[in-house]
Amino acid sequence: MGIIKTAAEIALEKLEKIGEPTEQERLKWKYGPEGEKLAALYLREDVNLINEVKKYDDKAKKVIITSVNDILLRNISLPRSEAARRTNKKAMDGLKALKNDKVAVENVFTRMRHVLDYYVQEGAKQKKQAYESLKTEFEAKVQEAIRKQTGVDARMKIDVEKQPQFQEQWQMMQAQMEGQYINLLDEYKKELAAIE
């Protein structure tokens, strides 16, 4: 039979296997949250990112900038509202201010803006058409089901929009339509993350 170890002994053994954290890991643990707070502050208020980042030494700066960039990228989304549009613009402005290769950033932003503008202009039309088409299709199905059950072609006015099946189908259709835009946005975000 083997030796019975306490939980503390087991934990110590695991820690020994992991080893000491690197300097880079320690910097991430210390300054990563600082960068996240700075990004949140920047998005909420009027803060000069460059001046705030300059307050840190060179080692910390790199970690903070990476952390800020991550948060700003996560805050770029489909402009479903005016608030989302403002957040997108502010996040993009912050990214451009912190990145060194401004030309590469602007090239990605141009493509990104095209997708976002297209979503606002054409996406709304596509959604409306898809919604009306789905509504008409559902009304026809409900009328057919009533006719089969009762044997009478009643042509009643039925509010299918309140039906759970309609809502579920609409949510799936919306997610599918928006998925195309989200995939493009995610690609552009990856490109931006790779730019120094």
DSSP secondary structure, 121-149, as one string: IIIHHHHHHHHHHHHHHHHHHHHHHHHHH
* Distances, alpha carbon 49 to alpha carbons 38, 55, 56, 111, 114, in Å: 8, 10, 12, 24, 26
pTM beyond 0.75, yes or no: yes
Residues 68/49, Cβ–Cβ less than 8 Å: yes
DSSP state letters, 59-103: HHHHHHHHHHHHHHHHT-----SHHHHHHHHHHHHHHHHH-S-HH
Say how far apart CA 149 and CA 19 lie, in whole Å: 71
**65 pLDDT above the threshold of 90:** yes
Domain ranges of the chain: 1-74, 100-196
| % residues pLDDT > 70 (the chain) | 98
Q: Which pLDDT score is estimated for 150?
A: 81
Of 124, 35, 36, 41, the C-alpha closest to 90 is 41
What average pLDDT does range 101-110 have in this prediction?
96
Check pLDDT > 90 for residue 87.
Answer: yes
Span 3-62, pLDDT tens digits: 787 888 887 787 777 778 788 888 899 999 999 999 999 999 989 999 999 999 999 999
**pLDDT band per the 50, 70, 90 thresholds, residue 182:** very high
